[in-house]
């Protein structure tokens, strides 16, 4: 298993690894980007079903679950305990940190 980030728990990493084992078909990049762009544009969804219905193109629910697991694993979204989906990725801040580096403690 890969190194865990500061925002990721062992449970989240385990869930992502388990989902990857069960997948027969992986979503295309076009489908991943479609879901990612919609979440980024709206910023928040009350639940997975609300997101699924709002997609401009229909996809299988299992495909959506795989994409959400990937986006959560990569630190772009958080799925709250009540099931709400929140966009948290901040590319401007990430670029600033990459340019300037982090200070040593």
Q: How many domains does the chain have?
A: 1
| Predicted pLDDT of residue 99 | 81
| Predicted pLDDT of residue 3 | 45
| Residue 3 located in a structural domain | no
| Residue 33 located in a structural domain | yes
| Predicted pLDDT of residue 23 | 67
- Count other Cβ atoms within 10 Å, centred on residue 4: 11
Domain that holds residue 58: 10-100
- Rounded Cα distance between 57 and 54, Å, is 9
| Predicted pLDDT of residue 19 | 63
Q: What is the pLDDT of residues 6-33, one digit of tens each?
A: 455 555 555 666 666 666 778 999 999 9
| Residue 25 located in a structural domain | yes
| Residue 41 located in a structural domain | yes
pTM of the model: 0.72
| Residue 1 located in a structural domain | no
| Residue 48 located in a structural domain | yes
Residues of the chain with pLDDT under 70: 1-23, 101-105
Which CATH number characterizes residue 37's domain? Answer: 1.10.10
């Amino acid at each position: 298993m890969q190194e865990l980030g500061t925002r990721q728990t062992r449970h989240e990493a385990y869930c992502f690894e388990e989902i990857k084992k069960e997948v027969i078909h992986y979503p295309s990049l076009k489908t991943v980007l479609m879901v990612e762009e919609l979440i980024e544009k709206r910023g928040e969804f009350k639940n997975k079903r609300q997101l699924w219905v709002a997609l401009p193109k229909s996809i299988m629910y299992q495909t959506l679950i795989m994409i959400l697991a990937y986006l959560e694993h990569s630190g772009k979204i958080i799925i709250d305990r009540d099931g709400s989906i929140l966009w948290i990725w901040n590319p401007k801040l990430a670029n600033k940190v990459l340019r300037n580096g982090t200070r040593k403690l």
